[in-house]
Homo-oligomer: A and B are copies of this chain.
Amino acid sequence: MPGEFKIIERIRKAAGRPSGALVLGIGDDCAAFRPSPGCETLSTSDMLVEGVHFRLSQGLPAVGYKSMAANISDILACGGKPLYALAAVGLPEKGAMRTALSLYSGMRKCADKFGVRIIGGDTVRSDKLVISITAIGEAAGGKTVTRSGAKPGDYIIVSGELGNGSAALKKNKAWLPPLRPELSFELCGRSLVSSMIDISDGLSSELYHLCEESGTGALIYEELVPVSKAALNISGGIRRRALSAAFSGGEDYELLFTVPAEFLGTALKLGRRHAKLSVLGRMLPARQGVKLFGSGKMKVLPRGGYDAFI
């Protein structure tokens, strides 16, 4: 059975030598990098547990890819440029080296695609496979976009189509989200976005987060929600069923954001160069609550969404 240090040594060789702003990579007590002058440093951690967030039957490279993508998505959701990642992995003893390298190949594929370097982490023993990734990125000073900047009247927009994550899960596959770096850089770099979040737990719960953090209500229109073909397929072509995958299904990793009315035209024009964008509705004063208009009726949007502990 290969030792922890052998696994780290293999990953370290695959990662290559530090260069550019990276001063110190895998293999020391810390990684070190030079932050870009005038930038804010962004960081985020996600933990994924075998049997809760993924199954081994989804394939280790896909699980690795998705784990990395989930963290990169959080950096993009704050308008940041993802740069580095630390990957801590708990590995079952049997086949630890093979598991580590297979998982790492998927993480690395995703990291490479989005310009992220894996600069450190940890490998330990664990009964079940556990993955905890920390992604680090940067945004120009004052340009970090939060969940809390929306105002009543702002338009609510979502990228791409929803329900892909949910559809993949039903087929026991890991969804490899496209992510939207160019969209995020373009709109956030020009300060066109008042609040943003990535859709990891379904449209409903993410919209509630934006409203609660911004102190607003919202009204969205059911007919404007972009449902993916995959979600329609697993729903027998019935849009109402597919909508539940969009509202409550998880792991789409599309961007949900708000744009002040005066920037709507510019944001759509610039943003649509990079991704499909759907305007879902508008933010409202908090007292009006979070509403959904559909089938001729106005109702309270069910919070739904996926909560790990319910």
Contact = CB atoms under 8 A, between A and B. Distances in A.
B96 A309 contact: yes
A80 B59 CA distance: 39
Interface string A44-57: 11111101110000
Given A121-B45, A124-B52, A33 B40 contact: yes
Nearest to A36: B35
A3 to B, nearest CB: 5
Given A4-B307, A28-B147, A127 B127 contact: yes
A31 B90 CA distance: 24
A29 interface: yes
A194 interface: no
Contact of A29 (B87, B90, B126, B198): B198
Interface stretch (A138-146, A218-226, A234-242, A290-298): A138-146
A84 B43 contact: yes
A191 to B, nearest CB: 15
Chain A interface size band reads 35 or more
Interface in A23-39: 23-24, 27-35, 37, 39
Contact of A75 (B30, B44, B84, B125): B30
Given A90-B130, A96-B309, A309-B2, A43 B120 contact: yes
B4 A146 contact: no
A287 to B, nearest CB: 22
A197 interface: yes
B90 A47 contact: yes
A182 B65 CA distance: 41
B47 A119 contact: no
A45 B120 contact: yes
Contacts of A132: 45, 47, 88, 122, 130, 132
Given A47-B132, A74-B29, A53 B146 contact: no
Interface in A280-310: 307-310
A157 interface: no
A84 B144 CA distance: 18
Contacts of A130: 47, 49, 90, 126, 130, 132
Contacts of A96: 309
A78 B30 CA distance: 7
A118 to B, nearest CB: 11
Given A29-B198, A125-B308, 19 more contacts: A1-B309, A29-B197, A30-B43, A30-B137, A32-B41, A32-B80, A33-B40, A34-B41, A35-B40, A41-B41, A41-B136, A43-B43, A43-B119, A45-B132, A47-B89, A51-B127, A52-B124, A123-B308, A134-B134
